[in-house]
């Protein structure tokens, strides 16, 4: 892919940050945003980043993907709650050689694009980043930032490596991986306790870890995710728990994206983060996951109220 035409679908914190880095590095990037297009067009994109602030004064942003034209590289950074419109949104961007990268959390996203446009087009990317949106045109990049990129339907790394190289050249640490499935579950080991309980209780990462009981709840929930991961063929080790707790403590009072969604009355990514992992575990014969199932029920109840209030 030389000088690819890049479309970033979804300009929340993650889409705007990573797409913005590519644009800053000289790539041709256009963005789709349903809700923030006007503000981004008026103000440009402002990123306050711990690795260097930047501004894109003339960001190309559309509120209709049909107006964007086809793209060689389609980076999907939509919330998984938009799953019902994935295909219609992306279809106008797809041309013969388009590659689709799901830069999303949780399970079940790649499957949608694979089903609609062919599995061979699809990769997944996992962002290890502390990032929040201050306003639609101002992103706060607080810490971390690694992308792991892997094929959805094979263990090949060539294409993932070429995309990773493009990100690295744009000042984003990036790594091609040959086992996307494993890293999706590794990410869930953090997302399920911290996004999940963070949203359910409205507590940030420091608050979740401030008491012995809270830390134990996080650890026990993470242990269940690891048991589920092992059952579905992602051989995460229990020692991973200490690693995750250890790297989370320095984040301080970090609000997960799901906690912020709760606070802003937005739909929660309940199915991608909890529901589908639980279904995958059950299909592999693991059903005794009481922290996860309790959390799942909490998020469904909360989400119904969040949406009603919004």
Please give the residue ranges that form the binding site for its own copies (CB under 8 A).
Answer: 197, 200-203, 207-208, 210-211, 213-214, 216-217, 290-291, 294-298, 300-302, 304-305, 308
Nearest approach in angstroms of CB 207 to its own copies is 4
By beta-carbon proximity to its own copies, the closer residue of 42 and 308 is 308
State in Å, rounded, how far the first CA of the chain is from the last one. Answer: 42
**Nearest-10 Cα torsion for 102, 181, 177, 92:** -20
The answer to whether the beta carbons of residues 159 and 151 sit under 8 Å apart is yes
User: 187, 237, 276, 279: which is the annotated catalytic residue?
Assistant: 187
Q: Which two tokens stand for residue 56?
A: 């894109």
Nearest approach in angstroms of CB 233 to its own copies is 26
CA-based radius of gyration for the chain: 19
Q: Which two tokens stand for residue 152?
A: 């959805």
By beta-carbon proximity to its own copies, the closer residue of 48 and 293 is 293
By beta-carbon proximity to its own copies, the closer residue of 160 and 189 is 189
Nearest approach in angstroms of CB 105 to its own copies is 21
Nearest approach in angstroms of CB 244 to its own copies is 17
CA distance 118 to 97: 11
By beta-carbon proximity to its own copies, the closer residue of 155 and 279 is 279
Q: Which two tokens stand for residue 254?
A: 């970090």
By beta-carbon proximity to its own copies, the closer residue of 217 and 228 is 217
DSSP state of 271: I
CA distance 130 to 127: 9
State residue 92 phi and psi, 5-degree precision. -65, -15
* Known catalytic membership, residue 187: yes
DSSP state of 107: S
Q: Between the CA of residue 296 and those of 81, 199, 218, 289, what are the distances in Å?
A: 15, 11, 14, 11
Helices 276-283 and 290-309 sit at what angle, rounded to 10 degrees?
150
State residue 200 phi and psi, 5-degree precision. -60, -45
Nearest approach in angstroms of CB 220 to its own copies is 8
Instruction: Give catalytic residue positions.
Output: 187
């Amino acid at each position: 892919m030389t000088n690819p035409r890049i479309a970033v679908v979804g300009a929340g914190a993650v889409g705007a940050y990573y797409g913005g880095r590519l644009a800053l590095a000289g790539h041709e990037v256009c963005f789709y945003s349903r809700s923030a297009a006007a503000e981004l067009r008026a103000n440009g994109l402002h990123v306050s980043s711990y690795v260097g602030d930047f501004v894109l004064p003339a960001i190309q942003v559309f509120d209709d993907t049909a107006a964007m034209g086809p793209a060689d590289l389609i980076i999907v950074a939509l919330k998984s709650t938009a799953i019902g419109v994935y295909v219609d949104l992306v279809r106008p961007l797809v041309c013969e050689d388009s590659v689709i990268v799901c830069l999303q959390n949780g399970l079940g996203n790649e499957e949608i694009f694979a089903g609609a446009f062919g599995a061979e087009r699809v990769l997944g990317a996992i962002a290890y980043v502390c990032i929040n949106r201050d306003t639609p045109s101002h992103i706060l990049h607080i810490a971390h930032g690694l992308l792991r990129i892997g094929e959805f339907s094979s263990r090949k790394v060539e294409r993932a490596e070429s995309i990773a190289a493009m990100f690295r050249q744009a000042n984003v640490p990036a790594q091609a991986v040959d086992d996307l499935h494993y890293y999706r579950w590794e990410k869930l080991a953090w997302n399920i306790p911290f996004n999940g309980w963070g949203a359910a209780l409205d507590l940030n990462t420091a608050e979740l870890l401030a008491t012995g009981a809270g830390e134990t709840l996080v650890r026990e929930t993470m242990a269940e995710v690891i048991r589920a991961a092992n059952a579905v063929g992602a051989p995460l080790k229990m020692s991973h728990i200490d690693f995750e707790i250890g790297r989370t403590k320095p984040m301080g009072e970090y609000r997960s994206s799901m906690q912020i969604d709760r606070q802003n009355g937005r739909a929660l990514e309940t199915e991608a983060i909890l529901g589908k992992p639980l279904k995958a575990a059950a299909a592999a014969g693991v059903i005794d996951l009481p922290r996860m199932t309790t959390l799942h029920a909490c998020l469904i109840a909360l989400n119904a109220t969040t949406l009603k209030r919004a």
